[in-house]
Structure 1
Amino acid sequence: MRDTVQQQTVATAPYGAWHSPVDAALVASHDGHPEYVGTVGEEVWWTAPRPAEGGRRALVRRRTDGAEVPVLAPPWNVRSKVMGYGGTPWAAVDRASGGPLVVFVHFADQRLYVHEPDAPAGGPPRPLTPLSPVGEGLRWADPVIHPARGEVWCVLEEFTGEGPTDVRRVIAAVPLDGSAAGERAAVRELTDDRHRFLTGPRLSPDGRRAAWIVWDHPRMPWDGTEVVLADVAEDGSFTGARVVLGGPDEAVAQIEWAEDGALLAATDRTGWWNLHRLEPAAARTGGEPAAEAGGEPAAAEAGGEEAGTEAWGRAGRPVALCPREEEFAGPLWKLGHRWFAPLSGGLIAVLHGRGAATLGILDPRAGEPADVPGPWTEWEPTLAVNGTRVVGVAASPHSGHEVVELDVCTGRSRVIGSAHTDAVDPAYYPRPHLRTFTGPDGREIHAQVYPPHNPGHSAPDGELPPYVIWAHGGPTGRAPLVLDLEIAYFTSRGIGVAEVNYGGSTGYGRAYRERLRERWGVVDVEDCAAVAEALADEGVADRHRLAIRGGSAGGWTAAASLTATELYACATVSYPILDLVSWATGGTHDFESCYTESLVGPLAEVEDRYRERSPLYRADRIGAPFLLLQGLDDTICPPEQCERFLAAVSGRGIPHAYLTFEGEGHGFRRADTMIRALEAELSLYIQTFGLTRSDVPTLELLNPAAPNSTGGAS
């Protein structure tokens, strides 16, 4: 990384008072990254963020001449709401004439549309699916186009009532001719709705079988899933469905077919998400017929047949292709996440590692992946293959997310889309350190520490910098080690950041992520505090100027931390969970409505625990200022929790501010929202830490306290 401003005069100024070219508008313009990569003929397509266009997701294609062009003009927004977080929202096929045919989900109405972007006659996209007046209507994700059948197969999420959990999900076939655009009955259901959740089908190379993943409440997909296999009849219906892998304590995250007809699966049956191969004679366990989660032989999903009606129902055991204490997959938050992709000739493109994932090419016969050379240290769970080409999305601590292509034959990798360009001199970028801290009971805590860094400034001798602890969302997730201009916004001003991959995070094996089981609000809070304490003990951070921030589950951790410790001088809490009781009793969307069963415990058995840990019921313990940020269209963490929390805090003299944003859901996507939120957060730190700055609007705090240059609860 070049430092072109190294020779300039270095000014001495207090931490937090440094001048920086990384402003909030710049951060907002670079928010988000490419997602859902696919190949269409020789072209590569993906979705891309457009913060300046109301936060829409554009569908972009890279032509064979290298030009990047939009497939759809505004206001088309290619994004699904299935399960709240969405999934793959598009599919396309190349055609001998007329150019590609693309099917996509439009965010505004969640209908499937079909479009021919190269058709001479042009014309807007045409709807394929109807609207429904019931609840939140019909939603679609993970589509696969079958031109010969004249259909697109995908996951259908259908609301049956007005409540957030009044919903059913099936795999459905939608006619490409538009005949279902006004007629729900024209949508053909390929499965029944006995399972609460499922992924889109993966069709075998010979077209005779389909496989998909299912799971049910109260499990989340990283707790336990099953792989269902069915035969595909001549008319396209599924028959003889049976479970061939998985169970309540085994999470299969992804399945794909090898070209020889074997089924490949990323499963954590060994304690790590490793890649396994199931031969046609393989089932769940040796010597026993395939069974459903309850342990009985699996009944048919469709067609009324018993499990084990042919070779795929017989006994066998999946074979690990590269047994390692590494992760070859991750949490299935969105339908269509893809951590591996089979190549011709038996090779497999894989993402693997501890913590950060790298791209490798696995030869199952050798059992060792050959990693791809290049500067990228993190890869997103979106891979596509075409012949000997592998395409993915990657980033590093010095570059943002880019679309990268690997030629397996030559070993050459290159950026082909969304190429990173330095928006400011890279000398202002943060310089992170990977750290492993020791927490309570001697447990390991993984974190990324970003010290203050600005080539034009240094701090007075003896001064320690303020630090903000960042708690990631999920909580079953992980903070990636990539260039993030939001972090640079703070570090280049003299405020340190520490991202904590607390117990419960993914990337470190099943045992690490299950540390949070029934201990949410305890382990995450303790681990964040342990990192903050360690930085202070080491003389890295000013103990009196520590803050915590997070969004969603990270917002929960930030708010819970204010009620559990006096360590932090202030907190920024974004679209948080604040009341576990209401969240677990219809106060959130269906996907996470039973999440607390594993994170906290069964509500019927430990309701007191739900109340004891919830910041709403511990508001009297808060003594530090806080900023609360909330999207008014959020159905995952609805605004009513924030409003009840503020009522509980009211009258206690705690300085705070509450900012709401129309048109924003769970997570902020609009440039103006992100600018306002980021500047408000900085203003909170200015006022709490006693910093001297005048480059952001002053956040108006209710019950304001005098600036506290030594930090601590006001």
Structure 2
Amino acid sequence: MHPPVRSIQKKKQNVEIVSTFPAQPSPMASLTICRATLTRLPALQLTTSPSASPSVSFNFNCFRSRILRIISPKRHHHHRATMASSAPAQERTTAPYGSWKSPITADVVSGASKGLEGTAVDGQGRLIVLESRPNEGGRAVLVRLADKAGDEAVDLTPKEFAVRTTCQEYGGGAFAVSGDTVIFSNYKDQRLYKQSINGRDSTPVAITPDYGSPVISYADGVFDYRFNRFFTVREDQRESATNSTTTIVAVDLNGKDVQEPTVVISGNDFYAFPRLDPKGERIAWIEWGHPNMPWDRSELWVGYISENGQKGRSYLSIVDDAQSSLSVLDIPFTDIDNITLGNHCLYIEGASAVDPSSVAKITLDAIQSKVLEFNIIWSSSPDSSKYQSYYSLPEFIEFPTEVPGQSAYAYFYPPSNPDYQASKDEKPPLLLKSHGGPTGETRGILNLSVQYWTSRGWAFVDVNYGGSTGYGREYRDRLLLKWGIVDVNDCCSCAKFLVDSGLVDGNRLCITGGSAGGYTTLAALAFKDTFKAGSSLYGVADVGLLRAETHKFESHYIDNLVGDEKDYYERSPINFVDQFSCPIILFQGLEDKVVPPDQARKIYEALKKKGLPVALVEYEGEQHGFRKAENIKFTLEQQMVFFARLVGHFNVADEITPIKIENFD
């Protein structure tokens, strides 16, 4: 079963990219599932080439990008139990919404759900995944999955290492595999390490200098076979932590001595996705500069590589897609994050309404247009199928905004528990979630943290307010200069729509969000009276302070989202604490550089002084987003009991010791 889904093209101003596959010695090496449309190839002073075609093509070897989405119209049953059961229905207990007991506990959500942060294939065609583990403090480990029945998955990363990069704060692209060699970024020191993954000696060896502290980080690299080096994006904070220097560098792989990487491409504010063509003669990358974000305006460059490094040539190319064709693969996933090319197969990172984030192995027919086999070989929540009878399936909804004739979108999850029902005259409490970004997107895929609420009798709605990605540029541009207005109005309009539709209790409306979603939460509580309580996770309280203190990658992000100095003041909830009128609980990581801890502390102290029920939870060792299982669990449980005590008017079924709430306990 699937919710109704809008089929929408995602476009960028200068580049429209879906994905392609890296060239490997395989009969499928020429397979293209997507295309890259180049509207401009500026000049590059890297190398010279005696001749070149006026039309340039190349492959993106994307092992860490979220740029492909496949929409499947129907559900396949692939070695998995269905939602329906032939067993006789058991009698359901009648109990108030929110008080239902559920097997989807906070322990299940925080501990059983692993994170998938990338895939690659080694020289023997075996799949390698980067797996983050909340039960190990959020440590990310490279794992080689079993290739055949009877084999076991093998951890490749030694226990004293963790594969993670903090480049541009958000990281991504923390490893690359070529044959039997992996290069990865180690979280503790942010150095690059080279490791043999199939030989006897698998001890990682550092290949970048030790600067005494992690002032330099690397991300998203690719092997250069011609000159035995490694191209990668580097962020250098040696001169300034707030205005770092970003370049593409080449790391030498020839000698035993660690050398300073060679800067190959520089001059702009940001770089991403360095990729080589199959012969290693050309390099392609994306770059952009302040005040733009990459989805607003970015450029795709191609340059030639040679030993003498003379000046290159520039080309202006227009690609006509009129003669191209596209075969749509019919697979169960409704959402695709990434594709890795294997030996005679594809590895797909994806999910659906009943599949958590997973990796599937796909075999195609001879003409590579139909799926012959589809098997899930890795799952972020391997035991999730045993909770299927408790799942609430997302319902895609379209609701009117405050602008006449305009709509916005969301995924609504009604309460669902086969063991319980509420009285006929009761409507459920609602938890509305505002996603981060703010130019992010929520998707109708299985998320156990959502099911944690719905299986206990809560209704849950995930809002894609105006400004969200995935609905076209015009939709995303709704947020320009109106952050804190459009997102807030749309969230309130969504809640009102659900109340007017008779789906939720208008007196028990709660809102939550993290990062930019936390800001929307605080702004909704400061400037509107729709919600009765809120939960902000590492959210923004002072937009002006965010602009002054945030990291380089987003240092100009909000210039296009807010406006002038007056707008910064008027959009900051911290300046209008007198307008808050309901309880709030805040959660904050003390090592967060994206939204510094002072943001949460300022709003906490102000609301405490005002006399409103408020609580603040701070986590040592956590950054922007919580990775440790115990903190994920604690956050989830404390939100539940906070809302139950102050808004829900029911007792939670779980044994949870509530934290102290100022001005309430």
Deviation at 1:405, TM superposition (A): 2.0
Q: What's the counterpart of residue 12 of structure 2? A: none
Deviation at 1:133, TM superposition (A): 4.6
Q: In the superposition, relative to structure 1, how do residues 37 and 517 fare at CA in structure 2: closer, same or farther (>3 Å)? A: same
Q: What per-residue deviation string (whole Å, max 9, x for no partner) do you get for residues 603-655 of structure 1?
A: xxx10100101111122111110110001111111101111222222321100
Code of the aligned partner of 1:463: E
| 2:629 matches 1:667 | no
Whether contact under 8 Å (1:577, 1:641) holds in the other structure is yes
**Aligned-partner Cα distance in 1 for 2:197–2:340:** 21
Q: What per-residue deviation string (whole Å, max 9, x for no partner) do you get for residues 22-65 of structure 1?
A: 11000102335323212223111121121101101111122533
Deviation at 1:540, TM superposition (A): 0.6
Deviation at 1:240, TM superposition (A): 3.6
Whether contact under 8 Å (1:550, 1:573) holds in the other structure is yes
| 2:339 matches 1:377 | no
| 2:83 matches 1:83 | no
Q: In the superposition, relative to structure 1, how do residues 414 and 680 fare at CA in structure 2: closer, same or farther (>3 Å)? A: same
The aligned runs of 1:27-176 (5 Å cut-off) are: 27-41=109-123, 42-65=125-148, 67-94=152-179, 100-120=180-200, 122-133=201-212, 136-165=214-243, 167-176=244-253
Q: In the superposition, relative to structure 1, how do residues 153 and 523 fare at CA in structure 2: closer, same or farther (>3 Å)? A: same
- Aligned to 2:101, what secondary structure does the other structure show? coil
Q: What's the counterpart of residue 401 of structure 1? A: 357
Q: What's the counterpart of residue 211 of structure 1? A: 284
Whether contact under 8 Å (1:434, 1:449) holds in the other structure is yes
| 2:618 matches 1:545 | no
Q: Unpaired runs of 5+ in structure 2?
A: 1-81
| 2:507 matches 1:434 | no
Code of the aligned partner of 2:336: W
| 2:81 matches 1:8 | no
Q: In the superposition, relative to structure 1, how do residues 523 and 172 fare at CA in structure 2: closer, same or farther (>3 Å)? A: same
Deviation at 1:567, TM superposition (A): 1.0
- Aligned to 2:552, what secondary structure does the other structure show? coil
Whether contact under 8 Å (1:142, 1:200) holds in the other structure is yes
The aligned runs of 1:154-233 (5 Å cut-off) are: 154-165=232-243, 167-177=244-254, 179=256, 181=258, 183-184=259-260, 187-192=261-266, 194-233=267-306
**Aligned-partner Cα distance in 2 for 1:366–1:215:** 29
Whether contact under 8 Å (2:224, 2:280) holds in the other structure is no
Whether contact under 8 Å (1:402, 1:415) holds in the other structure is no
**Aligned-partner Cα distance in 2 for 1:6–1:377:** 31
Q: In the superposition, relative to structure 1, how do residues 546 and 400 fare at CA in structure 2: closer, same or farther (>3 Å)? A: same
Higher relative contact order (CA closer than 8 Å, sequence separation 6+): 2
- Aligned to 2:627, what secondary structure does the other structure show? coil
Whether contact under 8 Å (2:229, 2:253) holds in the other structure is yes
The aligned runs of 1:227-626 (5 Å cut-off) are: 227-234=300-307, 237=309, 239-240=310-311, 309=313, 313-320=314-321, 365-373=323-331, 375-380=332-337, 382-386=338-342, 388-409=344-365, 411-419=371-379, 420-422=382-384, 424-441=386-403, 442-585=405-548, 587-601=549-563, 606-626=564-584
User: How many pairs does the alignment contain?
Assistant: 571
Q: What per-residue deviation string (whole Å, max 9, x for no partner) do you get for residues 671-697 of structure 1?
A: 000111011000111112211225222
- Aligned to 1:418, what secondary structure does the other structure show? strand
**Aligned-partner Cα distance in 1 for 2:584–2:223:** 49
**Aligned-partner Cα distance in 2 for 1:6–1:75:** 51
Code of the aligned partner of 2:400: T
Q: What per-residue deviation string (whole Å, max 9, x for no partner) do you get for residues 216-261 of structure 1?
A: 01100001001122111125x4x546xxxxxxxxxxxxxxxxxxxx
**Aligned-partner Cα distance in 1 for 2:193–2:517:** 35
Deviation at 1:75, TM superposition (A): 3.4
Q: What per-residue deviation string (whole Å, max 9, x for no partner) do you get for residues 368-411 of structure 1?
A: 332233x211111x221235422121111112111112223262
**Aligned-partner Cα distance in 2 for 1:409–1:35:** 29
Q: What's the counterpart of residue 594 of structure 2? A: 636
Q: In the superposition, relative to structure 1, how do residues 161 and 6 fare at CA in structure 2: closer, same or farther (>3 Å)? A: farther
Code of the aligned partner of 1:367: S
**Aligned-partner Cα distance in 2 for 1:32–1:218:** 35
**Aligned-partner Cα distance in 1 for 2:104–2:569:** 41
List structure 1 segments (4+ residues) > 6 angstroms apart after TM superposition. none
**Aligned-partner Cα distance in 2 for 1:117–1:46:** 13
Deviation at 1:9, TM superposition (A): 1.5
Could you tell me the TM-score, scaled by structure 1's length? 0.77
**Aligned-partner Cα distance in 2 for 1:110–1:180:** 18
- Aligned to 1:406, what secondary structure does the other structure show? strand
Q: Unpaired runs of 5+ in structure 1?
A: 95-99, 242-308, 322-364, 706-714
Sequence identity percentage: 32
Deviation at 1:519, TM superposition (A): 0.4
Deviation at 1:509, TM superposition (A): 0.8
Deviation at 1:3, TM superposition (A): 4.4
Q: In the superposition, relative to structure 1, how do residues 448 and 125 fare at CA in structure 2: closer, same or farther (>3 Å)? A: same
- Aligned to 2:621, what secondary structure does the other structure show? coil
Whether contact under 8 Å (1:563, 1:621) holds in the other structure is yes
- Aligned to 1:591, what secondary structure does the other structure show? helix
Q: What's the counterpart of residue 698 of structure 1? A: 658
Quick check: 496-505 or 81-90, which moved more? 81-90
- Aligned to 1:493, what secondary structure does the other structure show? coil
- Aligned to 2:107, what secondary structure does the other structure show? helix
Could you tell me the TM-score, scaled by structure 2's length? 0.83
Deviation at 1:178, TM superposition (A): 5.8
**Aligned-partner Cα distance in 2 for 1:49–1:583:** 28
Code of the aligned partner of 1:428: Y
**Aligned-partner Cα distance in 1 for 2:327–2:590:** 46
- Aligned to 1:616, what secondary structure does the other structure show? helix
